[in-house]
């Protein structure tokens, strides 16, 4: 399974714990394009960036 960059960004938000759980259980793949899109997202704060760096 390949997940979209928007799903990854939503997973950083506290109101989506079920999404993080889904990702953890299913261990989907992330494309190189999604990786660049997510880490380049202009509204990410420092805490979200740290979470995503661990996630990737």
Judge contact between 2 and 8, C-beta under 8 A.
Answer: no
Q: Hey, what's the torsion of the CAs at 30, 3, 40, 42, to 10 degrees?
A: -160
Q: What is the pLDDT of residue 53?
A: 77
Exposed, middle or buried: residue 17 (CB in 10 Å: 0-12, 13-18, 19+)? exposed
Would the pLDDT of 55 be above 80? no
Q: What is the pLDDT of residue 15?
A: 93
At 5-52, the pLDDT tens digits run 888 888 888 899 998 888 888 888 889 898 888 888 888 888 888 877
Q: What is the pLDDT of residue 5?
A: 87
């Amino acid at each position: 399974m390949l997940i979209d960059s928007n799903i990854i960004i939503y997973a950083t938000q506290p109101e989506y714990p079920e999404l993080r759980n889904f990702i953890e259980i299913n261990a989907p793949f992330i494309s190189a394009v999604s990786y660049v899109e997510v880490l380049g997202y202009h509204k990410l704060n420092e805490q979200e960036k740290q979470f995503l760096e661990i996630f990737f």
